[in-house]
A and B are shown apart, each in its own frame.
Chain A
Amino acid sequence: MKGRDEIAQALAASGYIADADLATAISLMQLLRRPLLLEGEAGVGKTEVAKALSKVHATELIRLQCYEGLDQSSALYEWNYQRQLLAIQAHRGTDSIEDQIFSEKYLLERPLLAAIRRAQPPVLLIDEIDRADDEFEAFLLELLSDFQVSIPELGTIPAITIPHVVLTSNGTRELSDALRRRCLYHYVDYPDVDREARIILARIEGASPSLSLQIARMVEGVRKEELRKVPGVAETLDWAAALVGLDISNLHDAPETVHETMICLLKTHEDRSRVTPEVTQRLLGRVA
């Protein structure tokens, strides 16, 4: 069993600063062989967890982006119809054509099938599962418990290795209890100031520790304002990159630039007009 401290360190080395809770969740994921369900607001770094995990295990990341109307043929496998038609035309009159066109050669692997057929277990990221339909969720449930796929024309394909499965959800739809129960659950919250500063340090080249801390404090202040769209970690990183790019080493030196570059954080007109220069000034005042 890999301890959570080692996992936290490994994640940090790959550029993801995890809190102790998340490291525990990941160590459990390996111990219990359950998928991990990550919920949280948009932009708190749910997808990044899977990416970091694939770096930690030095393995492939297979991503399935869910959307409404996602079906088996784009998630699991599909026959290569064009080639099949071509083959039928080319071999007109031969008897064995049927065996040929339903063979591996004409099978198109989609993410879910690909994930169970790798020699080394990959990280399977099922992104925004809440956007898929109920039916797809039920189908996924079956796959996640058996890890085998049956293709009527080919037969049952068992898993070669069991992938590390990470699911993410933005909560736009209630997920079924069955799916929730099967997964380990982790709620990803906005990071605290200290962790956010470390994230900036790890991700943005040229950011000094003092600037990172200032940015993190500032963003914390912005999140407490009544906004329609609360900025996530991704926005923080954008902003930090913008400030570093503009050669700012101390926020107090250039309050105007700070206010102008806040468009990186505020993504609606309403929010933009709510955070006036005075508000920026007030927030800056609280930043040491």
Chain B
Amino acid sequence: MSCCGSSPEYDDLNEVARLVSARLAAFLRALRGAGFRVGLAEGQDAAALMAAGYAARPGLLRAAFKHLFSARKSDWDKFDGLFDAFWLGKRVRSRSRTIGSAPGANSPSLKGMQEARADQGGAQSATNQVPTSDDAPEGRGGEGRMEGASRAENLAEVDFRKLADPDQVAQAHEAAAHLAKIMRTRLTRRDLARRRGYRLDLRRTIHRNISHGGVPISLVKRQRKDKPLRLIVLLDASGSMSMYTSVFLRFIHGVLDEFFEAEAFLFHTRLAYVSDALKEKDAGRALDRLSIMAQGAGGGTRIGESLQSFNRWHAARVIHSRSCVMIVSDGYETGDAELLGREMAALHRRCRRIVWLNPMMAWEGYAPVARGIKAALPHVDLYAPANTLSSLRALEPYLAKL
């Protein structure tokens, strides 16, 4: 066949075909590993394409495979790199590019130096700040806090942060999941009362009136299907939030599990779409998958930029007319506060409600004076503390009214 260029002897031909199909199977495995949804049918079609003469021209084969194997834009964007790496032996830039961290966020020394410059306290050297990571209550592998952006953190020993021993942590997690469950049932029960239709359903009317000889006596109407509330959670996973992140993650896991429609995003220096990882039923496994995706968590926060990429790439897809966006963040913006204000305004135009939960709000003497939160507040519908489970519970009546 044309797939091997020169003309080999017949015995070799079978051997070549076998090698090619083995190689193709390996490529499919690689694609699946990179998150592509590729089934058997695609494999067969790919083999058919190679046999049909596409294999002789790598450029054409790549384009053909790209159409066949991609299912969404993210696949589309990373396919060429994967193809070249596998078939042509070029180096792929980065497998987890879309969710990876910003350059430098992973290298503690660089990060530390930037932070040290930003910190007016400046006395601590970069190396001093690195090892302050392991006072988190439970082992969250790999995402130690690398910087000491705010001194306030170390002062107050309150709320979730007190839950040091693992049992209590587990309890808090259960409560969060339970809460999400309550919220869901309360929210959906409202829809049952509406039973009046606004349009005649001719098909069913005729069917029901056959016994009257076709004279429409009892009418059947149709009613509009109600859209359930969709909750979109944007969770700040930066260093200053690290004490709360795990609890909120568990809460979000409950929300995704229980809400009919919910999406979750994680942001620190950039935004990551984590719904897929968190939809795993088992909480432990979900968190494992997540920790792989959330590399770079625990660094600084660029809320504005993260929101910008949310508005640009995800908002149209995930937000509809009955959506509530919940942002969980302390509002310590290390990026451009003006950008944050602009993006909040854009987001507000799009969705029904924005709820901003701030764990720091319940702290004594806290006032929203950080630049970020000041810029964002005018566009927020509900600004509430969320440092204890009861404060989360207090949100329920508000969400039910949406």
- Please indicate whether A and B come from the same complex rather than being unrelated chains: yes
CB of A171 within 8 A of chain B?
Answer: yes
Known: A20-B63, A89-B214. A28 touches B73 (CB 8 A): no
Contact, CB under 8 Å: B317 / A185? no
Given contacts A28-B64, A181-B71, contact A73 B203 (CB under 8 A): yes
Q: Are B317 and A171 within 8 A (Cβ)?
A: yes
- Nearest A residue to B203, CB-CB: A73
B258 within 8 A of A: no
Closest to A20 in B: B63
A25 touches B67 (CB 8 A): yes
Indicate if the CB atoms of B203 and A186 lie closer than 8 Å.
no
With A25-B63, A172-B320, A184-B68 given, name 12 new contacts (CB 8 A).
A21-B66, A28-B49, A69-B225, A85-B206, A88-B213, A88-B214, A170-B316, A173-B320, A177-B37, A181-B71, A184-B67, A186-B67
Q: Which 8 A-B pairs have the closest CB atoms?
A: A180-B71, A88-B214, A24-B63, A185-B70, A184-B67, A81-B202, A187-B76, A25-B67
Asked if A228 is at the interface (CB within 8 A of a chain B CB), the reply is: yes
**Chain A residues with CB under 8 A of B37:** 177, 180-181
State which of B52, B70, B320 has its C-beta within 8 Å of the C-beta of A1: B52
Given A69-B224, A181-B71, A185-B76, A24-B316 contact (CB < 8 Å): no
Q: Do the beta carbons of B64 and A187 come within 8 Å of each other? A: no
A: residues with CB less than 8 A from B are: 1, 4, 20-21, 24-25, 28, 31-32, 34, 36, 39, 69, 73, 78-79, 81, 84-85, 88-89, 92, 133, 170-174, 177, 180-181, 183-187, 228
Contact of A28 among B68, B206, B320, B346 (CB under 8 A): B68
Q: How large is the interface on B (under 10, 10 to 19, 20 to 34, 35 or more residues)?
A: 35 or more
Residues of B within 8 A of A228 (CB): 346
Closest to B61 in A: A24
Let me know if A85 and B64 touch, CB within 8 A: no
22 A-B residue pairs with Cβ-Cβ distance under 8 Å, sorted by A, are A1-B52, A21-B66, A24-B60, A25-B63, A28-B64, A28-B67, A28-B68, A31-B49, A32-B45, A79-B203, A88-B214, A170-B316, A171-B316, A172-B316, A173-B317, A177-B71, A180-B71, A181-B38, A184-B68, A185-B67, A185-B75, A228-B346
Q: Which residues of B contact A78 (CB under 8 A)?
A: 203
Bound-state CA distance A244–B39 (Å) is 51
Q: B214 to A174, Cβ gap below 8 A?
A: no
CB-CB under 8 A from A187, the residues of chain B are 70, 73, 76
Q: How many whole Å from B252's CB to the nearest CB in chain A?
A: 18
Name the A residues within 8 Å of B70 (CB-CB). Answer: 185, 187
B residues within 8 A CB of A32?
A: 45, 48-49, 68
B195 part of interface (Cβ distance < 8 Å): no
**Does the CB pair B317–A174 fall under 8 Å?**
yes
Bound: A180/B76 CA distance, A? 12
| B401: Cβ under 8 A from any A Cβ | no
Please give the distance in Å from B11's CB to the nearest CB on chain A. Answer: 29
**Measured between alpha carbons, how far is A37 from B78 in the docked complex, in Å?**
18
A182 to B, closest residue via Cβ: B41
- A contact residues around B318 at 8 Å (CB): 174
What is the CA–CA distance of A20 and B57 in the complex, to the nearest angstrom?
14
**B191 interface residue, CB < 8 Å from A?**
no
Q: Which of A39, A180, A187 has the most CB of B within 10 A?
A: A187
B336 interface residue (CB < 8 Å to A):
no
Cα–Cα distance between A42 and B328 once the two chains are bound (Å): 32
CB interface residues, B 222-271, toward A, < 8 Å: 224-225
Q: Which residues of B in the span 37-57 have a Cβ within 8 Å of any Cβ on A? A: 37-39, 41-42, 45, 48-49, 52-53
Instruction: Say whether A92 contacts B45, CB under 8 Å.
Output: no
Residues in B neighbouring A85, C-beta threshold 8 A: 206, 214, 216
A92 touches B213 (CB 8 A): yes
Instruction: Report B-chain residues with C-beta under 8 Å of the C-beta of A28.
Output: 49, 64, 67-68
Whether the Cβ atoms of A21 and B63 lie closer than 8 Å is yes
| Separation of A39 and B75 alpha carbons in the complex (Å) | 12
Q: Bound state CA distance, A89 and B214, in angstroms?
A: 8
Give B44's nearest chain A residue, CB to CB. Answer: A32
**Residues of chain B in range 3-48 having any CB-CB distance to chain A below 8 Å:** 37-39, 41-42, 45, 48
Q: List the B residue with the shortest CB-CB distance to A172.
A: B316
A185 CA to B74 CA, complexed, in Å: 12
Q: Is the CB of A24 within 8 A of B64?
A: yes
Report if A24-B67 is in contact (Cβ < 8 Å); known contacts: A81-B206, A172-B317: yes
Given A171-B317, A172-B317, A180-B72, are A4 and B214 neighbors across the interface (CB < 8 Å)?
no
Residues of B within 8 A of A84 (CB): 206, 214
Enumerate chain A residues within 8 angstroms of B72, measured Cβ to Cβ: 39, 180, 185
- Cβ–Cβ contact B73 & A39, under 8 A: yes
